[in-house]
Amino acid sequence: MTAQGLIGAQISMVFITAGLAGAMIAPSRCIATLPISMVTLGSALSARFLSGFMARNGRRAGFTLACIIAATGAAIAFIGLQTASFVLFTAGCTLIGAYMSAQGFHRFAAADTAPEALQPRMISLVQAGGLFSALAGPIMARTTAESSAVPFAMTFAAIIVLNMIGPLLYALLRIPVLPQASHSAAAPSGRSLRQLLRTPEIAVAMICAMVAYALMNLVMTSTPLAMVGCGYDTGDAANVVSAHIVAMFAPAFFTGHLITRFGARRVVAAGLLILAVAGGVALTGVELDRFYLALILLGVGWNFGFIGATAMLTAAHRPEERGRIQGVNDAVVFGGVFLASLSSGGLMGCAGGTAQAGWSAVNMAMVPFLILAGSALIWLTLRPRETR
């Protein structure tokens, strides 16, 4: 939970500043958010590797490795800003994605040693650690953004420091390496990856998690560019993103209780509905209070959708199958986030030519994906009982 809050602050720092930094040095405004997109691609590409590495060597070793990779990436991004190299800056952001991927495994680590009945609450509690990152990340971003001759360079220097603290925190982690399943006939290793992916509960959980995370990222990535384009300053954008991140993690203190009481599917459904309302609010105007309300609803919707989908996934596979499915799940989720983030820059930079038109296009793009996730959830719920 401490690592989620402190080391995880780097993710909000990147999402607040990387798009603005990209717009400063990118050859075209249409690819200004590419560095943010590459963070999510780096996360997707490293998910299966980190999942397998943790299964063999333990969570602590995997989290430490991710911090080392992310620190290297932040150093490269720092050099890219100093030399006005968009290529170097983007490459560095890609490596930072390794920590974003590892942070996603915090929720699974919380469930590793918890009784099944307590797993939703443990997952939710660890996600609540992000509340600190919601406060610390934007403050550090605002403090460091203009603190050197090269805008945003010191932000990435601070990210290097955060990743150096990471291994010290993870050294205190006490999760044993779970025994690897044997492949002998006497001790079967569980279902194959193909069988797992064909399990309806797992497939729908992955779809809902991907849609909730991807749509949240699509809108959040666009927010700083949209706000600055509509006449607000960087401080206003940081405050709105900060409120959004608080809304992402504050509900986690009780999301687990809601899942236990009402069931994961209903919580996911509520999350998708709130995401739809967030998009509707954003389409009503570009006043400052509309940005605040839309982004707060976006955060709550992500919380219910993503944590609920995670609870669905953990309930649908056995411990010996976790290394096989968790990495694939996060690769799919962050692959969707990458595509959403990549689309965000194109929609903002190229749709209609104005920030307001781009902002509207971004929020309209949510509709088909909400329909996809909602339809999958309804299908799962209405399946005949004997086939479940």
- The pLDDT value recorded for residue 326 is 79
- The pLDDT value recorded for residue 296 is 96
- The pLDDT value recorded for residue 267 is 96
Q: Which residue has the higher pLDDT, 272 or 354?
A: 272
For the chain, state the CA radius of gyration.
20
pLDDT for 185 beyond 50: no
- The pLDDT value recorded for residue 280 is 96
Alpha-carbon gap, residue 352 to 145, rounded angstroms: 29
Alpha-carbon gap, residue 9 to 155, rounded angstroms: 11
pLDDT for 137 beyond 90: no
Rounded (5°) CA angle 104-220-309: 40
**Percent of the chain topping pLDDT 90:** 39
Positive or negative: CA dihedral 15, 20, 21, 26? positive
Q: 198-219: per-residue pLDDT in tens?
A: 999 999 999 999 999 999 989 9
| pLDDT classification of 1: cutoffs 50, 70, 90 | low
Average pLDDT score over the chain = 85
Q: Which pair of tokens denotes residue 305? A: 């959708």
Most confident range, picked from 43-52, 124-133, 273-282, 357-366? 273-282
- The pLDDT value recorded for residue 194 is 86
| pLDDT classification of 258: cutoffs 50, 70, 90 | very high
Q: Which residue has the higher pLDDT, 170 or 371?
A: 371
99-124: average pLDDT? 74
39-63: average pLDDT? 86
Q: 163-173: per-residue pLDDT in tens?
A: 999 888 888 87
Asked whether 245 and 138 are in contact (CB, 8 A), the reply is yes
**Percent of the chain topping pLDDT 70:** 89
